[in-house]
Structure 1
Amino acid sequence: MSNKVTMQQIADYLSVSKFVVSKALSGKGGVSEATQERVIQAASQLGYFTQKNAYVKTMKLEQLPKTTAAHKQSVLVLMPNIRFQTKESLYWGRILDGIASRLEEDGYGMVIVSEQSVDHFLHFLNPNGILGLIGVGEISTPLLLEVHRIGLPMVLVDHEDMLIPSDTVFTNNYDSMYRLTKHLIGKGHTQLCFIGDMNYSRSFKDRFLGFRSVLEEQALVEPKFQMSNDCYLPVEGFEHEQFQEPIKQWAIKRLKAKTMPTALLCANDMIGIGAIDAMKELGIAVPEEVSITGYDNIDDSYRMTPSLSTVHVPKEALGKRAVERLISRIANKQEPMEKLLVAGEILYRESTAQVKA
């Protein structure tokens, strides 16, 4: 008996028709966005996307028109213009630089696409000479489904979709934040808080988990490290000015309640810069009264006063490793998917210090 997952099984699982499942997986419309999400979710849970020849692809790579030697083959780089994911970004732009540099080394071209609409994106999926796709930052599931549907090799940088299988490249977010938290505890800090929305991205979640793991381990021998609501502040925004006011208002409440932490571990540098600005407004000395850390090591982190302790993310290296992984995937399509972790480096600067006795 075959163990292959079929569209009919997905339809039975959801109590819908096979026609609805086919439409949802084809990416050609005909069903609502909510229904498509339900179908993709169910297909993923049942293992539909992980099996070979999951469904009929609209075309195979071998069917793409061949390019002549005079024409350079290219890689499609998808970086939707959302959440400040642009080439001008101090973070995303450096990843893009790494991709461009590595592609140029091997003589490949690069086509950058900033698109969120599936319908508008479709015509980019079958251009002459496109070898594969590198996704930078958050990309919607419907867009990734289209890439997967035609069998185009892809690698995602600093993002993963739990429903669509793909190779991914990250920095070692969990380990780096774990070590940074351990360092601050070694400096005498017992009241620590993680600032940033763990649901914002996979990277933010892993950073939060690294922070939380340290507190849970410490709590086994020292109850004062018990994880509580005071240890986590979710904030939203993109620029440091957007984080400054909510952190300031939160700090005012903590000061009144006499529960102000002595160390704030921020999910990225923008949040860290906003936190330092908020403390300055309140007359709280950094790092004498509160130590603050960031993550990413963007240029602004060392230009400010005090300079921000942070984790250096080798952004260009992430881009280069994504290219290398894509080239390997193109050559070996049947290899298991990989999640590559590039090591980050903790940079101890002026914004952290020993707790005063």
Structure 2
Amino acid sequence: MSARKTGLDATGDARPAAAPVTIQAVAAAAGVSKTTVSHVLSGNRPVSAETRRRVEKVMDDLGFSPNFFAQALNRNRSNTIALIAQDITNPFYPALARGLQAAVSNQDQVVMLFDAGAGEGALTHAFVADAIQRRADGVVIAVSDVDDDIARLREAGIPVVAVGSGASKLPIDWVTADDERIAADAVMHLHLLGHRRIATITGPLNHTPGKPRYLGYLRAMQDLDLPVEPEMIEHGEWTRESGFDAMARLAARHDRPSAVFCANDMMAIGALDAARRSGLAVPEDVALIGVDDIDAASLVRPALTTVRIPAEEIGRAAGELLLHRIAEGMTTTHRHVLVQHVLMTRETS
């Protein structure tokens, strides 16, 4: 094994790692000033084509890597967009991140993904502080009830786009689906199949979209003149496990429902597991419907009927709004984008 690969000198002793190449070294080798090298890096001042080529060749020859954070300080730009998501174990959020990255990548922006966890406010506070410190060019907030954090970003001059209905009461750009309408359409679908005892497994009601989807369920049940029974309402945490537990309780009732609206697909898949564990056939004994249309919805058996919310489209729309806001500044009229949902009828109802 060669000494160079092992980091050893000819005597076999460890040698220190090579020091990073500095702007001063590049300037000396190219025969220009440090200021000229800085102008080549920033693009903020004109440099002749010949000088630029010479400096860039020296950078390449010496293996020069510019200090990213120093450049951010100099330009007041970082070419970085932060996405703070509720829970990246939910497949909805990685799909949203793909759409966001697709929208901003042609503007030389990269996306930093922060996982706020299941309602962990302290993590969101920390991520916002980090985004401010890094001088992020913009932030997409896919976490609810964080107006204090959004206000901090706005005070720091960082554009913000919120994702989700009711995500913020502040005058900012946002992208959302109509969560109340989504739930109402799901209940209507079950009713048209002949179901009257329709239960729901909600998400957390202290956060969006849990509350609006619950309100949509109640509204549809009342509009259809169907009984709203407290024992037909179970509360979940957006996870497969919580959907399983909630469905197990519903299945154990002597007056169990004939259909269940689950506020997201992860809980619906858990409910499907619990129904089968309880000896119930789906959809013959109990019909199920979820929300989101994550990839797994079409892969489980029986395939899950769900309401599709186009996560990538939401991410792309959020990215486009954020790029507009970065370009226009904070004073122009704020934009709101409502994405459309689609019923995906499969095998569980």
TM-score by length of 1: 0.68
Distance 2:201 2:134 in 1: 43
Residue 79 of structure 1 is matched in structure 2 by 84
Q: 1:76 to 1:210 in 2, by over 3 A?
A: same
Residue 129 of structure 2 is matched in structure 1 by 122
Give the C-alpha shift of residue 73 in structure 1.
4.9
Residue 214 of structure 1 is matched in structure 2 by 220
Question: Which amino acid is the alignment partner of residue 269 of structure 1?
Answer: D
Supply the RMSD in Å over aligned alpha carbons: 2.6
TM alignment of 1:66-215, pairs within 5 A:
67=75, 73-79=78-84, 85-86=87-88, 89-114=90-115, 116=123, 118=125, 121-127=128-134, 130-138=136-144, 140-158=146-164, 160-215=166-221
Aligned counterpart in structure 1 of residue 306 of structure 2, from 310, 313, 316:
310
Say if 1:199 and 1:205, in contact at 8 Å, map to a contact too.
yes
Give the C-alpha shift of residue 346 in structure 1.
0.7
Distance 1:241 1:74 in 2: 39
Give the C-alpha shift of residue 280 in structure 1.
0.8
Q: Secondary structure at the match of 2:138?
A: strand
Distance 2:126 2:278 in 1: 49
Distance 1:103 1:345 in 2: 26
Say if 1:193 and 1:264, in contact at 8 Å, map to a contact too.
yes
Q: Does 1:337 align with 2:339?
A: no
Question: Which amino acid is the alignment partner of residue 218 of structure 1?
Answer: L
Say if 1:193 and 1:261, in contact at 8 Å, map to a contact too.
yes
Question: Which amino acid is the alignment partner of residue 288 of structure 2?
Answer: I
Distance 2:318 2:178 in 1: 15
Distance 2:105 2:324 in 1: 16
Question: Which amino acid is the alignment partner of residue 129 of structure 2?
Answer: L
Gaps of 5+ in 1: 1-63, 220-224, 353-357
Larger radius of gyration: 2
Q: Secondary structure at the match of 2:97?
A: helix
Distance 1:316 1:109 in 2: 16
Say if 1:73 and 1:109, in contact at 8 Å, map to a contact too.
no
Say if 2:289 and 2:306, in contact at 8 Å, map to a contact too.
yes
Residue 248 of structure 2 is matched in structure 1 by 248
Distance 2:126 2:256 in 1: 50
Say if 2:204 and 2:236, in contact at 8 Å, map to a contact too.
no
Q: Secondary structure at the match of 2:249?
A: helix
Q: 1:176 to 1:92 in 2, by over 3 A?
A: same
Say if 1:160 and 1:168, in contact at 8 Å, map to a contact too.
no
Residue 25 of structure 1 is matched in structure 2 by none
Aligned counterpart in structure 2 of residue 324 of structure 1, from 281, 301, 320:
320
Give the C-alpha shift of residue 282 in structure 1.
1.4
Q: 1:155 to 1:120 in 2, by over 3 A?
A: closer
Residue 231 of structure 2 is matched in structure 1 by 230
Give the C-alpha shift of residue 334 in structure 1.
2.6
For each residue in 1:329-353, what CA deviation from the matched residue of structure 2 results, as whole angstroms up to 9, or x when unmatched? 231533343432111111000001x
Say if 1:102 and 1:320, in contact at 8 Å, map to a contact too.
yes
Distance 2:176 2:125 in 1: 25
TM-score by length of 2: 0.70
Give the C-alpha shift of residue 291 in structure 1.
0.6
Aligned length: 271
Distance 2:124 2:183 in 1: 35
TM alignment of 1:265-276, pairs within 5 A:
265-276=261-272
Residue 346 of structure 1 is matched in structure 2 by 343
Give the C-alpha shift of residue 159 in structure 1.
6.2
Q: 1:67 to 1:111 in 2, by over 3 A?
A: farther
Distance 2:201 2:317 in 1: 29
Give the C-alpha shift of residue 111 in structure 1.
3.4
Say if 1:312 and 1:344, in contact at 8 Å, map to a contact too.
yes
Give the C-alpha shift of residue 227 in structure 1.
2.2
Question: Which amino acid is the alignment partner of residue 263 of structure 1?
Answer: A
Give the C-alpha shift of residue 134 in structure 1.
1.3
Aligned counterpart in structure 2 of residue 290 of structure 1, from 280, 286, 293:
286
For each residue in 1:239-284, what CA deviation from the matched residue of structure 2 results, as whole angstroms up to 9, or x when unmatched? 31343133212321x22xxx22111000001111111111111111
